[in-house]
Amino acid sequence: MNFKEELKNRTAYAEQIIRNYLPKEEGFSVKMAEAVNYSMLSGGKRLRPVFMYEVYKLFGGRGNVVEPFMAALEMIHTHSLIHDDLPALDNDPYRRGRKTTHVVYGESAAILAGDALLNYAYETAFQAFDRTDSWKPVADALKILGEKTGIMGMLGGQGVDVENDGKPLSREMLLYIYENKTSALIECAMMIGAVLAGADKEQVAVMEQIGSRIGIAFQIQDDILDVIGDSEELGKAVGSDEKNHKTTYVTLEGLEKAGEKVKILTEEAIDLLAKLPGEQEFFRELLCSLCTRRK
Ligand code: FPP
Ligand code: MG
């Protein structure tokens, strides 16, 4: 099977897992569940659960304890997108090729749908306890999920980003923002996959380093695509950073250097991966493909 077919299969698997865990649209809170499901089913790349499963397999993971965590992480990611698009933040009307949640359901409903999704992610992750008798790896995975998405992770990075909107940023602060608002979730995906499969501390630390580099590269490529990307292909407006007077890696270093940095970080991640055991071909190709992604 070639890489593209393999990626399609793995994305379809992640998609199925996510669908299995979505809230039921019933009762008085039906509108909230609808708004949640609207954003969850709008066709994201499902990269974070694909990463999680790939690392789980890399370390010999078996069984389905990883599945609630795959869904939970995509829920946290989607919550962050709903809130990031709100009028008070980036005020973006399109995401994943569809109108954003606040445009369809109204601003207050979108704020609450984001909150609901963040909470539902934990309700979902807790279901992992029903899938195994060994509680320690699940407890360790929950700790990673909480820390990497909280003040010392994604939310912290997003907070500093929003607080400094429109202001010039030092390279150091910009990299802090990228490490947290974007890398933290990718590190989280890879570390949880490793922990649930029984990887040791050093191996989990290597996954964190790989996630850090891939996350920063991913965010720089995001900056690049905001300038040179195609809005149709991306499923969202381009030029959002310029509109919001945002300092990005591209505004600091220029397009060419930004592209080189994406390559360097990806090569570093692949070198780190080579230290680990297991079948790596698909994983390596996946990391490489992100360098040249158009969406
Ligand atoms: C797109 O992911 C997302 C990013 C490049 C990360 C940007 C970071 C934020 C928006 C943080 C926001 C945080 C809060 C709490 C508001 P993707 O290209 O994988 O999207 P997809 O799932 O639609 O494919
Ligand atoms: Mg945005």
Task: Say if residues 225 and 215 touch (Cβ distance below 8 Å).
Answer: no
pLDDT above 90: residue 243:
no
Residue nearest to atom 12 of ligand 1 (CA): 80
pLDDT above 90: residue 23:
yes
pLDDT in tens, 100-158: 999 999 999 999 999 999 999 999 999 999 999 999 999 999 999 999 999 999 999 99
Q: How far apart are the CA of 226 and the centre of ligand 2, in A?
A: 10
Band of the pLDDT at 31, cuts 50, 70, 90? very high
pLDDT computed for residue 196 by the predictor: 98
Q: Taking CB atoms and a 6 Å cutoff, what residues make up the pocket around ligand 1? A: 44-45, 47, 80-81, 83-84, 96, 154-155, 158, 181-182, 219, 222
Average pLDDT estimate for 246-275: 96
Spell out which residues have Cβ within 5 A of ligand 2, the ion. 84, 90
pLDDT above 90: residue 268:
yes
Q: Return the ligand 1 atom nearest residue 218 CA.
A: 5
Q: How far apart are the CA of 105 and the centre of ligand 2, in A?
A: 18
The amino acid at residue 236 is: K
Residue nearest to atom 13 of ligand 1 (CA): 80
Q: Return the ligand 1 atom nearest residue 43 CA.
A: 23
C-alpha span between 140 and 190 (Å, rounded): 13
Q: Return the ligand 1 atom nearest residue 42 CA.
A: 23
* Secondary structure (DSSP) of 117-186: HHHHHHHHHHGGGGG-S-HHHHHHHHHHHHHHHSTTTHHHHHHHHHHTTTS---HHHHHHHIIIIIIHHH
C-alpha span between 87 and 39 (Å, rounded): 16
Output the CA–CA distances (angstroms, integers) from residue 231 to 223, 225, 227, in the order listed.
Answer: 13, 9, 10
Q: How far apart are the CA of 267 and the centre of ligand 1, in A?
A: 23
* Top mutation candidate among 181, 226, 293, 294 for ligand 1, by most atoms within 8 Å of CB: 181
Residue nearest to atom 5 of ligand 1 (CA): 219
pLDDT above 90: residue 244:
no
Task: Say if residues 236 and 94 touch (Cβ distance below 8 Å).
Answer: yes
240 vs 225, more confident: 225
Percent share of the chain, pLDDT over 90: 94
C-alpha span between 13 and 7 (Å, rounded): 10
User: What is the rounded radius of gyration, in angstroms, for the C-alpha atoms of the chain?
Assistant: 18
For the entire predicted model, the pTM comes to: 0.97
CA angle 169, 148, 179 (to 5 degrees): 25
Q: How far apart are the CA of 136 and the centre of ligand 1, in A?
A: 30
Q: How far apart are the CA of 78 and the centre of ligand 1, in A?
A: 8
Average pLDDT estimate for 263-281: 95
**Mean pLDDT estimate for the chain:** 96
* Secondary structure (DSSP) of 192-258: HHHHHTT--HHHHHHHHHHHHHHHHHHHHHHHHHHHH--HHHHTS-S-HHHHTT---HHHHH-HHHH
**Which residue reads 């080189």 in tokens?**
260
Nearest to 56 by CA among 153, 231, 190, 176: 190
pLDDT computed for residue 124 by the predictor: 98
Q: How many CB atoms lie within 10 A of CB 256?
A: 9
